[in-house]
Amino acid sequence: MTKRKQPDARPKGPEFLFEPVALRFRHDGWTAERQAEFIQALAECGCVTEACQRIGKSIHGAYGLRARPEAWSFRAAWDAALAHAIQRLSDAAFARALHGVSRPVYFQGEQIGERRHYDERLTTFLLRYRDPDRYGKWNDRMIYQAAEPEGAVQALAECLMRILEGADGSSKMEVEPEVEGDVP
């Protein structure tokens, strides 16, 4: 009976297609395969230092390769790999905000259970920056209480003033009262 080769346990990331930088061949240099391995490692870990360690190359060499004028495709792949890593980080933060983090509970030096901890600051941050129309910073200026009878009127007046004010704070538009008999 023959043994089957076990598939790699780590999930493969997306393939980043790019044109490797053509360099003079060195057995220990930045070959096309090493460049592709670096981009793949960068997408997986999101850290240039760790990606260089994984492929056995120096950080100085990676940034030197990126700085070459003909390395436009390598730079684009590098940026795409970092964007992929940031998306993975964002997904992990969402999972932590939704499902919480397990924290052990100890009694007399022994673990007796676990508690789920939900980080409300993380949830607030994610809501504020993922849905700014509903939870954005502009809502912080809406300081009125619904119990006040004129609170909603005050909030509407503040919104109208922000609309009428220009970027420099001066009034861009002056409202003139209508006079009977005027024809525009």
**In a shared domain, residues 38 and 71:** yes
What residues make up the domain containing 161?
136-171
List all residues 6 or more positions away from 31 whose beta carbon is below 8 Å from its beta carbon: 20, 23, 25
Quote the pTM value.
0.57
Residue 40 confidence (pLDDT): 92
Residue 107 confidence (pLDDT): 93
Residue 31 confidence (pLDDT): 85
Does residue 26 lie in a domain region? no
Domain count for the chain = 3
pLDDT mean over 97-111:
92
Joined tokens for residue 27: 């057995």
**Please, what sign has the CA dihedral across residues 66, 28, 84, 97?**
negative
**In a shared domain, residues 85 and 49:** yes
Cβ-contact 13, 27 below 8 angstroms: no
Cβ-contact 18, 74 below 8 angstroms: yes
Does residue 60 lie in a domain region? yes
